Structures are given as C-alpha cells and as structure tokens.
Amino acid sequence: MKIPFSPPYIDDDIKREVLDTLESGWITSGPKVLALEKLVAEHTGLTHVACCNSATSGLMLLLHWYGVTRGDEVIIPAYTYAATALVVMHLGATPVMVDSGDDFNIDIAKVRDKITSKTKAIIPVDIAGWPCDYHALFDLINTPEVMAKFTPVTENQKKLGRILVLSDAAHSLGAMYANKPIGVWGDFSVFSFHAVKNVTTAEGGAMCINLPQSDFNHSEVYRTLKLWSLNGQTKDALAKTNGAGWRYDIVYPGFKMNMPDICAAIGLAQLRKYPTLMLPDRKRVAEAYVKGLANYSWAILPPIKDAERESSYHVFALRIKGITETQRDVMIERITEAGVSVNVHFQPLPILTVFREKGYQIEDYPVAFSCYATEISLPIYPQLDQDKIDYIIDAVVRAYESL
C-alpha cells in the first residue's frame, strides 16, 4: 500500500468552482476573493477578514501595520515553522524565541522573562491545530508590570497601548478555545490556505481582524490591509476594467500580496464543506489513531480535546516515549519502507542554519528539542479510510518493535 502524507482534497464541487472562475473572464482578485473573505468571517463570527497570497505575507503585513521595525522585538515559539520568525526578520526586527510546553505550544509561563521595552508583538502558534492558552497569554500581557514596559511609537501602538497578539493560526482553522473559534482570540489571527493545510487555495492566507472595537474601526483596518497588499493602489485591476475608471493613484508603498480569484475558488468550495464534512473526517482519523495506539505504553498521543479546547486536527503529532532522535529517524525509515509517508513537525528553529548562525542555541529550548526528537507526524486527511488507518498504525507499531 502507498499512503501519501497530505494529498489535496479535490472533488467535483471544487473543480466546478474553479471552472466557473476560468469561464468568467476574471481570474485574479475579484468576486471569489470577496466571497471567501465573507465565508471565513461567517465561520469565525468576525465582521472583517482580508485574504492575501499566503499566511507568511499576512503575518508580515500585520506586523508592518503595527509599525514593527528595526530595533523592535517580537516573541515567537522556538517550535514552529520558519515563516513565523522570518516575517519578523524581514522587517528588521528580532525574533525572541520561547521554549514549548509539553503540548508543543509556546510555554506562556516562560514568556514573561522575554518581555522587554522593545517587545512590540507576540506570535503564538496553535501547533498542529491545538489552541494556545489565550486566557493565560492575555492575562500576562495585561498585567501592570508588562503594560508599563510597553513603549509605543506609532499611532496604532499608542491606540492599542500594549503588546499586539498576532495569532499564527496557520494550522488551526476550525479549532475551538473556550467555546469560541480560533480567529477571534488574537488581535489578529492569520489562517494559511497553503496546499497542505486543512482548507487550501493552493497558496493563500486570511487575516482575521479582531482589534478592540473601542479603539479601531475594523472596516478601516480592512481597507488599509487590502490597499497595502495591492501596491498601495487606490483601484484594483477589476475596478479599473469597469467603465472609464482607468485612472488610479498609488498612496502607499505597498506590497504585492493579493490572492487571485482562481485560488479563492478552491478555498471557497472547500470551506463550504469544511465544518460538515472535511473537519469531521479529520477528527474521525485522529480518533481512530487514538483508539489504535492507546494500548501502547510507548505512544504519547497528542492533545486533541479537553474541557476548554478542541483541535482542528491539522497534524497528528505522535511522540514515542524515551527514544533518541536517531531511533526516531530509523522508525521513519521503516514506516516509509512500508509505503506510508510521514513527517516531522517541526525542527525547532535554532537547529536550522539561518537561526543557528544568528546565535540561537538549541540547548536553550530543551522541551522543543525533545518534542521534535521523538515526534512522527502521521498522515491525517479526509480521504483516509479505516483500512488505511489500520495499515498506518501497524507500520508504526512494527517500526517501533524493530528498534
């Protein structure tokens, strides 16, 4: 049997939606993007969501919106995908890394020590789709001593008056925290629609706006983000083609980060069936793994549901008790030989060259390292039936027993 790690979910509805775009005479940013924004807003209960061409772009644009620049610090987990750190570096600011807790997510208790007068934002990441402890995070950020350290410079920083919480929700579309969906827990939350994420547009992202309503006008923030993601141009291409409206202005040195309609069409058709079909199917797979692996004392199962949270089941991050990194690699080889593609989420950033060369040291992030060294991500997607799940579990068990 050959089992891929994360094939895209493409059915007739998705093909029809894309074909509709192709035949419409308009393929870049237009009505489908607006429809996708509206649907993400409906799913999260927000009024304003702005799409862009990747979560990476969205994170960077939002940090820029908050005025993050040279000399500033942004707190991030050491255990995440590199984009979380790179967006900070692109703006000339410094990513300040924090170790993980046992649930893979940033250890909020360790954040306090990393906050300085240069800290402008924190980017919590809901690793594998498991929500961070947002209550604990906001409690920390709102404590008087932390508030007193905050040194606002730009207009938006003065208005918010505290560290910005920019949630990297690349994994967690559909996850729940304290009875509310992910998307409403950060001041901004960014979903990724990359090909391997729970809902995809091939490449794409969505910026959810949830700033305090008392100080920020969400439709104004939305307009700014859309303007800055399209070169700072006062009219998008579609508006220019309509009627005699060819004349436009460039009012800001913006970026080119807009999402094309042809991509939005894929996401639109997927998102329509995500809550009723695709997400429950991911949950089914996760629960089948839990059931199939629960009796093995060496299997450390990832958190997927408790009284306060429910995962989006993006990654099934299995850990193996007591094994070394080398033994983990051997297990992956054996599982791969059985035809099952697995993965590792993630290599903590300090072990990657670009960060190591900047002086980050993995020894400072022992929990992140141990999460990584013992981790194997199993395939999880709607197309996996029970036969395949059983086959995968069997491959994992045999790989462990061969050690």
Ligand X SMILES: *Cc1c(COP(=O)(O)O)cnc(C)c1O
Sites of contact with ligand X (CB under 6 A): 54-56, 80-81, 83-84, 125, 168, 170-171, 192, 194, 205
Cβ distance to ligand X smaller for residue 193 or 369: 193
Rounded least distance, CB 55 to ligand X, Å: 3
Rounded least distance, CB 197 to ligand X, Å: 6
Rounded least distance, CB 205 to ligand X, Å: 5
Neighbours of 51 (CB within 10 A): 29
Q: Which residues pair with 75 in a beta bridge?
A: 96, 122
Cβ distance to ligand X smaller for residue 67 or 129: 129
Cβ distance to ligand X smaller for residue 157 or 311: 311
Cβ distance to ligand X smaller for residue 84 or 229: 84
Distance CA 89, CA 351 (A): 17
Task: Quote the DSSP letter at residue 108.
Answer: G
Rounded least distance, CB 208 to ligand X, Å: 14
Nearest to 169 by CA among 275, 89, 17, 55: 55
180-181 and 176-177: which strand pairing?
Answer: antiparallel
Distance CA 307, CA 390 (A): 28
Distance CA 275, CA 295 (A): 30
CB 230 within 8 Å of CB 223: no
Rounded least distance, CB 201 to ligand X, Å: 9
Rounded least distance, CB 139 to ligand X, Å: 24
Distance CA 197, CA 191 (A): 9
Q: Which 3 state secondary structure label does DSSP give 7?
A: coil
Cβ distance to ligand X smaller for residue 123 or 279: 123
Rounded least distance, CB 95 to ligand X, Å: 13
Cβ distance to ligand X smaller for residue 125 or 209: 125
Q: Residue 268 is encoded by which pair of tokens? A: 């639109």
Q: What does the H/E/C string look like for 314-375? A: CCEEEEECCCCHHHHHHHHHHHHHCCECCECCCCCHHHCHHHHCCCCCHHHCHHHHHHHHCE
Cβ distance to ligand X smaller for residue 58 or 292: 58
Rounded least distance, CB 58 to ligand X, Å: 8
Q: Residue 200 is encoded by which pair of tokens? A: 């995809």
Cβ distance to ligand X smaller for residue 162 or 345: 345
Distance CA 327, CA 330 (A): 5
Rounded least distance, CB 192 to ligand X, Å: 3
Q: Which long-range contacts (CB under 8 A, 24 or more apart) does 89-92 make?
A: 90/60, 91/60, 91/63, 91/64
Cβ distance to ligand X smaller for residue 292 or 302: 302
Rounded least distance, CB 293 to ligand X, Å: 24
Distance CA 85, CA 80 (A): 9
Cα–chain-centroid distance for residue 178?
19
Cβ distance to ligand X smaller for residue 194 or 282: 194
DSSP per-residue letters across 117-128: TTEEEE--B-GG
